[in-house]
Each structure stands twice: as C-alpha cells, then as structure tokens.
Amino acid sequence: METLLLNENQLDVAAELIIKGEVVGIPTETVYGLGADASDENAVRKIFSAKGRPADNPLIVHLADFSEAVRYTSYIPELAHKLAEKFCPGALTMVLPKNDRIPLVTSGGLDTVGIRVPSHPVMHRIIELSGKPIAAPSANISGYPSPTSASHVMRDMNGRISAVVDGGQSEYGVESTVISFEDESTVRILRPGCVTEKMLMTVCGNVIVDKAVLSGLEKNEKASSPGMKYRHYSPKADIIMVESTLESFTDYVGRHYGDNVYSLIFDGDSDNFPYRHMTYGANSIQQAHQIFRKLRELDDLNAVRVYVRSPEPVGVGLAVYNRLIRAAGFEVVRL
Ligand code: TXA
Ligand code: MG
C-alpha cells in the first residue's frame, strides 16, 4: 500500500478514507494519532495490526464535542461534565462506561471507553467531515516513542496505512492525561499529561495519582489501565534515568563513558558539560514538547546508551518523568 502524504487543504480526502474504513495518521495537539472509525471493527483491527499493538490495549475515542459522549457511553458522572467544561477541547481523556456503539475491539475487551475531545483544528475538522467517532492511538509502532511530526509517522507507518496528514509539530509533545472516576468528587490519573494534577484539583475534590504512574507494576499486580503493562516509548538505545545534581551526573557519565554513549541534559547544563550530549529544553513544558523527538534523534545517531537527566516529577514534569522511566524500562540511578 502506498501511504499518501496529505496537507491541511486535503482534509476531505482524509475524511473520505475514514468513512471507507481506512486508517489515517492525523495530527493532534498532543502527538500524532492513527485514526479510524471507532464504530467499525474492521477499521479498528487495521489500527492494531499497523501498530503491532496487543489486542487488549484499548483505544481512545475522539469526538468533536463532549456533548456527543452520551452517544457512546452508558453513564456520565456530573464531575465529567464539569471537567469537560474546563478542559474540553484539550489534552484530557476520561474513561467512562461504554455502550454498544463502541465495539469491544475498540475498547480492548473492556466495558469502558476513553473519550477525548481534541483541540487541534485538523483532527477536529476530520471528525466533523467524516461524521465518525475516531479511534486513535499514538501513531508509532507499538513500544516506540510517540510521533510528534508527520515525518515520524511516515517513518513508522509508510506502507502500513492509507495516508498521513501533515499538520506540523505537535504542540504539547506528550499524550493526553488519562483519568478514571473513583467517586463523585475523585478522579484517578492513569497516565499524566499536560492537564496536570493541580489543574484537575481546581475542579475535583480529590485527585489520586495511580501508583503505576511513578513506578513499574509488581509481577502479577493488576493494571488500572492496560497501557501500564507494556514496554513503552523505547528507542533502540538503552536509556538510563539519572536523578542527581548536574555535578554528580557529570561525574557518573564520566565513569561510564564510551563509544556511542550520549547524555540527554537540560538546556542550561550544556555550557561546561564535557561529554557527547543532546539537550531537551529548559523547563518541563519544553521537555514535554521535545522528549519523543530527541529519543528518535538519538536513534538516528546510533546511540547505544543514553544517560538522561531526570526532570522533577511535578506538574507537566510528571508526564515527562512517566514517559522516561518507561523508556528506561524503570532503570533509574539515584545519586
Ligand atoms: O494524546 C493522546 O491521548 C493520543 C492522541 C492521538 O489522542 N492518543 C494516545 O493513545 O496516546 P494511546 O492508545 O497511545 O494511549 C492510550 C492509553 C493507553 O495506555 C491505554 O491503555 C489507555 O490510554 N486507555 C485507553 N482506554 C482506556 C480504558 N477504557 N481504560 C483504561 N485505560 C485506557
Ligand atoms: Mg501510545
């Protein structure tokens, strides 16, 4: 299959492909998604096979407006409406009980569905033009860093899907915050993103950060979200997170240095850093924006091992930290 590269003036072509049951790479404000009609089992199966994704890992369903969530869910708590008022459209996915309009293939066999209303005008327009709920996981090969540009998607998906729409660089760079509902005033963060714990606290009485956000699951421990179980975001290089001051970090890298060993450090660190390195921003918003691109670039440089300066796991930094510990397979050095 030849994968078409479409521009922002060809959204009717993208919508037509979605209606026909094909898979299209679509830009969103978080990362690029691999979109297909969420109500069409065969179309959704194509997403799983293009990504090589395990069948029990559910897909997020993207809608043009939160008011449409009633069509695909059996119950919406009052708190979800309040959150939608504040954060939709945007980088928030709410896990709700699904109804029969969402096939089990889409929900990975679960009786719930993640609903998101993306703010990116291209994704929004394709949902409207197609008139379909769009199931879309991140548009990477399963396990690889999420794509934040059309060229990343092309790299992973060329020949596997019908088209990719080029909508420039993703604004946020990390995927949406995924939450579930515990009781009428409490939500649980299953995956942190740019809608932070503090932002959620402006609407919710209580916000729980799931244990798996900051650490690996123990053997036989049940995942609150299937995505927690799988190795994620990993480039070919071995990633090692280092939580320390710049001084101890520099010393540590010096003692573990060698051919094709890189460091991924903060912008401000690089002036006197004597070893091979790349930088990934000066604050957590920049780090979120750049992290997946930098992990892909390190592969292009044939890095074999990468020592990463750990972000503070607060605010948007929690999202960056969460992606990095997974990329590192939970290999964290604390100095
Ligand atoms: O920003 C995003 O969320 C991007 C863009 C394309 O919208 N999408 C995305 O999808 O990151 P994906 O499939 O790569 O990640 C979805 C995560 C997975 O970890 C999955 O297990 C979890 O959300 N998830 C989806 N539906 C769920 C459900 N019903 N219950 C629990 N977790 C769910
Ligand atoms: Mg993903």
Q: What is the CATH number of the domain that holds 145?
A: 3.90.870.10
Both 209 and 263 in one domain: the answer is: no
Report yes or no on 246 lying in a domain: yes
CB 264 within 8 A of CB 279: yes
Both 48 and 193 in one domain: the answer is: yes
- pLDDT at residue 230, rounded to an integer: 73
Binding site membership of 57 for ligand 1 (Cβ less than 6 Å): yes
Binding site membership of 113 for ligand 1 (Cβ less than 6 Å): yes
Instruction: List beta partners, residue 188.
Output: 180, 208
Both 35 and 129 in one domain: the answer is: yes
Q: Which of 213, 228, 256 is the last residue of a domain?
A: 213
The number of the ligand nearest the C-alpha atom of 292 reads 2
The number of the ligand nearest the C-alpha atom of 115 reads 1
Tell me the average pLDDT of the chain. Answer: 96
Taking phi over 0 as left and psi of -120 to 50 as alpha, with beta for the rest, 307 belongs to beta
CB 315 within 8 A of CB 195: no
Closest atom of ligand 1 relative to the 33 alpha carbon: 6
Q: How far apart are CA 84 and CA 190, in angstroms?
A: 17
Nearest CA to ligand 1 atom 13: 137
* Residue matched to tokens 């929690």: 318
User: Judging by DSSP bridges, how do beta strands 186-191 and 177-183 pair with one another?
Assistant: antiparallel
Q: Which of 179, 213, 247 is the last residue of a domain?
A: 213
Report yes or no on 233 lying in a domain: no
Residues lying with their CB under 5 A of ligand 2, a single-atom ion:
138
Q: What domain count does the chain have?
A: 2
User: Judging by DSSP bridges, how do beta strands 238-243 and 305-309 pair with one another?
Assistant: parallel
Structure tokens of 305?
A: 């091992």
| Residue 152: HSE in the Cβ half-sphere, 13 Å Cα cutoff | 29
Report yes or no on 227 lying in a domain: no
Structure tokens of 327?
A: 């990329």
- pLDDT tens for 150-193 read 999 999 999 999 999 999 999 999 999 999 999 999 999 999 99
Residue 177 structural domain = 4-213
Both 88 and 200 in one domain: the answer is: yes
Binding site membership of 265 for ligand 1 (Cβ less than 6 Å): no
Q: How far apart are CA 173 and CA 252, in angstroms?
A: 29
- pLDDT tens for 99-151 read 999 999 999 999 999 999 999 999 999 999 999 999 999 999 999 999 999 99
Site to substitute for ligand 1 among 56, 75, 93, most atoms within 8 A of C-beta: 93
Nearest CA to ligand 1 atom 30: 225
Amino acid at 42: N
Binding site membership of 17 for ligand 1 (Cβ less than 6 Å): no
Binding site membership of 176 for ligand 1 (Cβ less than 6 Å): yes
- pLDDT at residue 238, rounded to an integer: 94
- Cα 293 to middle of ligand 2, angstroms: 14
Both 168 and 91 in one domain: the answer is: yes
Both 138 and 268 in one domain: the answer is: no
Both 152 and 277 in one domain: the answer is: no
- pLDDT at residue 216, rounded to an integer: 80
- pLDDT at residue 234, rounded to an integer: 78
Binding site membership of 225 for ligand 1 (Cβ less than 6 Å): yes
What are φ and ψ of residue 26, in 5° steps? Answer: -130, 135
Both 330 and 272 in one domain: the answer is: yes
- pLDDT at residue 218, rounded to an integer: 78
- pLDDT at residue 33, rounded to an integer: 98
- pLDDT at residue 236, rounded to an integer: 87
Both 284 and 147 in one domain: the answer is: no
Q: Which of 197, 213, 229 is the last residue of a domain?
A: 213
Both 149 and 286 in one domain: the answer is: no
Report yes or no on 277 lying in a domain: yes
Both 204 and 249 in one domain: the answer is: no
Q: Distance of alpha carbon 244 from its chain centroid, rounded?
A: 26
Number of neighbouring beta carbons within 10 Å of residue 31: 27
Question: Which CATH number goes with the domain that contains 285?
Answer: 3.40.50.11030
Which segments of the chain have a pLDDT < 70?
231
Q: How far apart are CA 271 and CA 191, in angstroms?
A: 34
- pLDDT at residue 228, rounded to an integer: 81
- pLDDT at residue 179, rounded to an integer: 98
Both 118 and 31 in one domain: the answer is: yes
- Cα 248 to middle of ligand 2, angstroms: 33
